[in-house]
A = this chain, B = another copy of it.
């Protein structure tokens, strides 16, 4: 079986060398020998460990147009030319394995339809949470259940940064510089710290979990660029840690899904709090199965290659058996709903005048806007008081109305902070 590789970077080199080192195993597991016949790269003069120089070509379009390829593995990243190359490969009858989250989160429906029409497989396990098997379990193992919520840490770079800020008390700028030095963060870290990487993964997870189409444009996205050491200390004081979460869940009447990425406080006793450094973990909550967690290495050459090669074997097995995997349809056609319909808990810090009746006024404002208070802590400070209000679950819309109403109160000097809180016992 002829395999071509698009991309010869860290992941591509790992895929190539593991594929060649494990020839006998791959043949036994696939039913047929897998032969790497070409690797498309931008610069063919660069030495790439694990990739024989004679396989390199700079003509990616020519490689996928060969017509005799069984499987094309795309690990080049980015939208174009990856999209066009994959479409060409599919049109030429090859099955495709990709690790490209941005592409799948943007053009997933188009690529899936093309694969469907051509009768080939399109697998992308490596696009979310690296080596952790997540898409196949969602697509197949949970096909008989009703997923209610997917929640997780799916970006290693930001989790590494938040871990260091929490454990070493380092500043945002210092941990970003360190992450770049260690190769965890890219020179332009925007996709990671801005949340777009997590948002792409959230869209892919939501699409599979809820049998619907969700693209990255449907995902509400806040990154960690505004998270300061002061926020982390404040969270710590309350027994919480700040994590960048990707969350997809049904809205309250189950007619739509709300998909969001933002920093949130999680209790130190919550399993996600102990997911440190560049590790990923994803909770899936389903009606019958209850809560499950998947944990492992979310990035890096070898873990990503593991997921790519698992898909490669699956695609090869299917080809050998002259079949292909069932592709889940977006039959549920749920609407992607705006962030206002998201439901979570909040910590609201309010600078107030310290005079009798203030707490009652504030509490009334929360109640009138449909937000139920869980705890209030009042700390005295110069010429006033700081009220730390923690709420039960409320919609973002109600919380926003509450905050606006609070701002209009004479006794409120300012809203010092609003942070979402993921409570393990409320959802």
Contacts and interface: CB of A to CB of B under 8 A. Distances in A.
A317 B311 contact: no
A323 B290 CA distance: 31
A375 interface: no
Given A309-B145, A310-B140, A293 B295 contact: yes
Nearest to A331: B28
A286 interface: yes
Interface in A13-34: 14, 18, 22, 25-26, 28-29, 31
A288 interface: yes
A370 interface: no
A68 B107 CA distance: 42
Interface in A158-184: none
A131 interface: yes
Interface residues of A, number: 60
A50 interface: no
A22 B147 CA distance: 13
Given A286-B306, A294-B294, A143 B14 contact: no
Contacts of A293: 293-296
A29 B307 contact: no
A321 interface: yes
Interface string A212-225: 00000000000000
A290 B131 contact: yes
A132 B134 CA distance: 11
Given A28-B331, A293-B296, A311 B133 contact: no
A144 interface: yes
B211 A29 contact: yes
B141 A133 contact: yes
Interface string A229-254: 00000000000000000000000000
Contacts of A290: 131, 296-297, 302-303
A178 B31 CA distance: 51
Nearest to A303: B289
Contacts of A137: 133, 136-137, 141
Contacts of A295: 271, 292-295
Interface string A292-325: 1111110000110111111111100110110110
A10 interface: no
In the complex, the count of this chain's copies comes to 2
Interface in A40-93: none
B314 A289 contact: no
Contacts of A358: none
Contacts of A136: 133, 136-137, 140-141
A274 interface: yes
A291 B303 CA distance: 10
A307 B290 CA distance: 11
Contacts of A328: 29
A291 B296 contact: yes
Contacts of A18: 144, 288
Nearest to A301: B288
Interface string A116-141: 00000000010000111100110011
A144 B317 contact: no
29 contacts: A22-B144, A25-B146, A29-B144, A29-B211, A29-B328, A130-B289, A131-B286, A131-B289, A133-B136, A133-B137, A137-B137, A137-B141, A140-B314, A141-B310, A144-B307, A144-B308, A144-B313, A271-B295, A287-B302, A288-B306, A289-B302, A290-B303, A291-B296, A292-B296, A292-B297, A293-B295, A293-B296, A294-B295, A314-B326
